[in-house]
Each structure stands twice: as C-alpha cells, then as structure tokens.
Amino acid sequence: WIDPRDVAEEEALTTLEGVNTRVTELAVVQEQDTQDIYAVMEDAQRRQTEMF
C-alpha cells in the first residue's frame, strides 16, 4: 500500500521545485528588463549630451 505521507512529501517537493523554477525565471526576466531600462537611460543621456 502507499503511505499518504510519502505522497504528500513527494507532492510538496514537486511543488517546491516548480516554485523555485518560476522564481529563477522571474529573476532572469527582471535582470533583462533592468538591463533594457539602463540601456534606454544611457541612450537618452547620450542624446542629451550630444544636443548640448
């Protein structure tokens, strides 16, 4: 027979792995967005400097 505690523990580990994966993916996306924002800011600053 299958011990329900084993099933619950396995499900919890699977859920935790899924959460960890999603958090990692979110961190990657956030880092890319941050780099994109910095690039836009640097470009705007460069253009402003060229104007003056």
**pLDDT (tens digit per residue) in 4-51:** 888 888 888 899 999 999 999 999 999 999 999 999 999 999 999 998
Alpha-carbon span 11 to 37, nearest angstrom: 39
Tokens of 50: 């060229």
At residue 3, the pLDDT reads 87
At residue 52, the pLDDT reads 77
User: How far are the Cα atoms of 15, 31, 32, 44 from residue 35, in angstroms, in the given order?
Assistant: 30, 6, 5, 14
Q: Where are the beta strands (DSSP E) in 1-52?
A: none
Own/partner long-range contacts of 2-11 (Cβ < 8 Å, ≥24 apart): none
